[in-house]
Amino acid sequence: MDIKKRFGLAVKERRIALGISQEELAMRIGADQAYISRIEAGQMNVTLETAEQVAEAVQSNVAELLGKIG
């Protein structure tokens, strides 16, 4: 599994653990739900800045999310 898919799965896992929807996560980072869906599906090669925004929105940090995909 490539890193985009693994990162997406880590984001999805954390989002579900928090009990928030893709729509809520999208709102938190100023994006739309389809964008979050593509991240979680591993279809987006997100920038480090976006990864940081997503991590903060799911009350985590980039290192923790990346650690889940090691």
- Which tens digits make up the pLDDT trace of 39-51? 999 999 999 999 9
Can you list the alpha helix ranges (DSSP code H) found in 19-47?
22-29, 33-40
Query: Whole-model pTM?
Result: 0.90
Give yes or no for residue 70 having a pLDDT over 70.
Answer: no
Task: Domain ranges for the chain, please list them.
Answer: 3-61
CB 40 within 8 A of CB 22: yes
> How far, in Å, CA of 21 to CA of 3, rounded?
23
CATH architecture, domain 3-61 = Orthogonal Bundle (1.10)
